[in-house]
A and B are shown apart, each in its own frame.
Chain A
Amino acid sequence: MDWLYLYMPIAGVKIFWPGLVLIGFSVGTIGGFFGMGGAWMVTPGLNILGFPMAFAIGTDMAHIAGKSMISTMRHSKFGNVDYKLGLIMLIGTMFGIEVGAQLIMYLERLGNVGSVVRWVYVFFLALISWMVFYDYFKATSKKAKSEGGAKGITWYETLHKIKIPPMVHFKAAGFTCSMWLPVFISFLTGILAGFLGIGGGLLRMPALVYMIGCPTHIAVGTDLFEVMISGLYGAFTYAVKGRIELVAVFVMLTGAAIGAQIGTVATKYAQGYGIRLAFGIAVVCCMISIILKEFKFNTLAAVLILGTIGLICLYIIKIMFVGAAQELREKAKNSNIAKNPV
């Protein structure tokens, strides 16, 4: 069974390569569906396979960049990427990440920073999950009362009233707002991303929906576009620090290429609120796993995170295959009618 193990020349470890393909596939599926890089999923997985932690983070970063590229290409075919919004947000994200990183450096000078970061992370994950579930129940209770369009949290409507010039129209997202709104929001999410050391998709996706006013599908695509650029930057900086295993990146990307197609195409058949609800569940599990890690239940944390990945992955695959089968059946039926009109 030696052929199942691949030697990683830089990390100096032998790795079970089908495990790498499986991680790539799962993260590709989940990332393509939710519009995030998925650093919180890959790092523990790589660590379990045998990578030292620093290599797990660096390799994860490079893999995320490549994977987001594949997903962004697919999302852009659906018209899910608002490039103008993505580029404007990039300004705020870059400055924000730098401020967040400086904050970390300051805290590091004070001493042990890990615990502070973890609790801030838990707080924001709790906030996001509360927002997602509150929004979902608000929308479904409104829908039950009236047949009109169901709307949950609409903070973006208030924020759109700010008319500081220049006003910009985002064609794909379908709204007009002050340019400073996406810049400011992305600056805030950037600070948190830099502070927490993550790509930022986990925070940016809900911010795009609830504070900027993007439709869920556009939020997913636009966020992936941003993750792609920040991921490439992250890959470079980690490579300079010598913490990337290129062989593992390539093996994982091969799995991710297939997963990304499944995840992205599944958004076509999923309701926006369905995506948000699954996202909320993922965030809650991520939060519990961090709390477990803080209290040194490392195995339990890894089991929880990997179990969540597996289940959400199966849910997305089911959505994609059921939707695709139905579409192909309808297509065949329509072509039969066209061939044999009664």
Chain B
Amino acid sequence: MRKMMWVICAIMLLQMTAPAVIWAAGGGATEIVVVADTRVVNNAAERYFADLYNTDITMFAVWCTVLTAVYGCLLGFLMDFLMSKTGLDLKSRKIIEH
């Protein structure tokens, strides 16, 4: 039984890897370049980020990371404040177990 399982596993592995090895001679696809269409954006902030995306992608990445972190923190503090108004005990739990 165990022997048969090993055989099935080996066949499955072969099935998965064989096409990959055969296609290894093929070339990779070229990377697709995406350009933000600023002609249809009216909002000033959106236009700024769309322009930044087209001209300076590293700066855009820095903005994305910083803004995500800042907005996450802001929402965290806001929700913390709102939850404290519910009257629930949010600092301890009764159920402690492994």
Q: Do A and B bind each other?
A: yes
Q: A144 to B45, alpha carbons, bound, how many Å?
A: 61
User: Distance (Å) between the CB of A260 and the closest chain B CB?
Assistant: 7
Q: Which of A69, A111, A328 contacts B73 (CB 8 A)?
A: A69
A257 lies within 8 A of B75 (CB): yes
A271 lies within 8 A of B95 (CB): yes
Q: Which of A9, A69, A77, A244 contacts B72 (CB 8 A)?
A: A69
B64 lies within 8 A of A244 (CB): yes
Specify which chain B residues have a CB less than 8 angstroms from the CB of A113 in the assembled complex: 20
- Asked whether any CB of chain B lies closer than 8 Å to the CB of A110, the reply is yes
Specify which chain A residues have a CB less than 8 angstroms from the CB of B83 in the assembled complex: 74, 261, 265
Specify which chain A residues have a CB less than 8 angstroms from the CB of B64 in the assembled complex: 62, 235-236, 239, 244, 246, 249
Number of interface residues of B (CB under 8 A): 56
Specify which chain B residues have a CB less than 8 angstroms from the CB of A328 in the assembled complex: 87-88
Q: A108 to B24, alpha carbons, bound, how many Å?
A: 9
- Given A239-B65, A246-B67, is A261 in contact with B79 using a C-beta cutoff of 8 Å? yes
B73 lies within 8 A of A77 (CB): no
Q: Which of A9, A69, A261, A331 contacts B41 (CB 8 A)?
A: A9
- Asked whether any CB of chain B lies closer than 8 Å to the CB of A131, the reply is no
- Given A9-B38, A9-B41, A10-B53, is A119 in contact with B12 using a C-beta cutoff of 8 Å? yes
Task: List residues of A whose CB falls within 8 A of some B CB.
Answer: 7, 9-12, 62-63, 65-70, 73-74, 77-79, 107-113, 115-116, 119, 149, 151, 213, 215-217, 232, 235-237, 239-240, 242-244, 246-247, 249-250, 253-254, 257-258, 260-261, 265, 267-273, 324, 327-328, 331
Given contacts A77-B80, A243-B34, A327-B89, 7 further A-B pairs with CB under 8 A are A10-B49, A66-B75, A239-B60, A260-B79, A261-B79, A272-B97, A328-B87
The 7 closest A-B pairs by CB, nearest first: A66-B72, A239-B61, A69-B72, A111-B23, A111-B20, A257-B75, A239-B64
Q: Can you identify 23 A-B contacts, CB atoms within 8 angstroms?
A: A9-B41, A10-B34, A10-B53, A65-B68, A66-B71, A67-B72, A68-B72, A69-B69, A77-B80, A110-B24, A112-B19, A113-B20, A115-B16, A115-B20, A116-B17, A213-B98, A232-B69, A239-B65, A240-B61, A246-B67, A257-B79, A265-B90, A267-B93
